[in-house]
Amino acid sequence: MITTDIAVIGAGPVGLFAIFEAGLLKMRCHLIDYLPQVGGQLSEIYPKKPIYDIPGYPSVLAQELIDNLMEQAKPFHPTFTLGERIEGLEKRGEADFVLTTNMGTVIEAKVVVIAGGLGCFEPRKPAVENLENFENGKGVNYMILDPEKYRDQKMVIAGGGDSALDWTIYLAEVCSELTLVHRSESFRGAPDSVAKVMALAESGKINLILNSNLQAVHGTDKLEQVEIVQNRTMEKTVVEADHLIPLFGLSPKLGPIEDWNLNISKSAIEVNVDDYSTNIPGIYAIGDINTYTNKLKLILCGFHEAALMSHSAYSYMNPGVKYTMKYTTVNGVSEF
């Protein structure tokens, strides 16, 4: 049996930062993740994707951010169970929680923090006939692992969120031809990213097709053409393409969480915004897995949630003990 102060379910960026925040309060963390390595979606889906909204980093690659978070957590000696999924959670009397993985590993913890990592995220696929015929290396992908794979290639990206915008900006300098297709005239992404994409279109560096949807894909042994239809006029456009990347987001699967008697709304865990605690004392939820009024699914917000959660968890574990705030700028990390 593994014994720890805090069991963190999910080894993505928010879960990793929770190690640091908990460590400053002298609480030990054990992280569990279904993936075989730390990093969550950043490492698994887009390790080389640039991230622009982390304070102090004008731009940082996803994997680089994960590596830095691991380095930051190192002084607090976290332990990990990777490649396993939490299947069972039960409260032992008034004290600890007992968690069991699908491989039979048992973890005993005073506090449980859910930061994702309970299973898989499936890409949302567009309703395009024969799309599956061009998957598995034949031109259609739903994530970008290595952008260099697309150098001097003809690319079509479909979507209107941050991922579609960010990859369009990045790949505009990589691909020989790049077309961005979006079903609307307005985007859901950051205004600055929208402005950059519009500037790329105006300068002729990308082909921007708005108010349009993917209609069909064509090719012999691999993808050769993408057919696009205008929503209003129904006019069709055929674009030559080596690759099609539909970026319509991911559908999370909560899995066993749904059986833990937590308050859940639209596949997310409801929390108290004072400290990101759930309806079960001793269980917290941080990052994209939680929901509350005006929730922003940003890594930055997840870091904030991890900090408040850690101080609440300390009070939960040490009732009646007053914590004197210390600052790393004064004491350094080694003093904690």
Is residue 51 annotated as involved in ligand binding?
no
What distances in angstroms separate CA 97 from CA 49, 245, 329, one per listed residue?
37, 42, 34
Rg (CA), the chain: 22
Neighbours of 181 (CB within 10 A): 26
- List the beta strands (DSSP E) in 191-335: 207-209, 212-219, 223-230, 236-240, 243-246, 250-252, 264-265, 268-270, 283-285, 290-291
Nearest to 88 by CA among 72, 107, 73, 75: 107
What distances in angstroms separate CA 256 from CA 37, 60, 315, 322, one per listed residue?
21, 33, 28, 36
Is residue 121 annotated as involved in ligand binding?
yes
Residue 140: DSSP 8-state? B
Is residue 275 annotated as involved in ligand binding?
no
Question: Do 213 and 160 contact (CB within 8 A), yes or no?
Answer: no
Nearest to 280 by CA among 296, 256, 257, 297: 257
Is residue 289 annotated as involved in ligand binding?
no
Is residue 63 annotated as involved in ligand binding?
no
The DSSP secondary structure of 26-65, one letter per residue, reads T--EEEEESSSSTTHHHHHT-TT-EE--BTTBSSEEHHHH
Q: Which residues are annotated as a binding site for FAD?
A: 33, 41, 46, 86, 121, 288, 329
Q: Which residues are annotated as a binding site?
A: 33, 41, 46, 86, 121, 288, 329
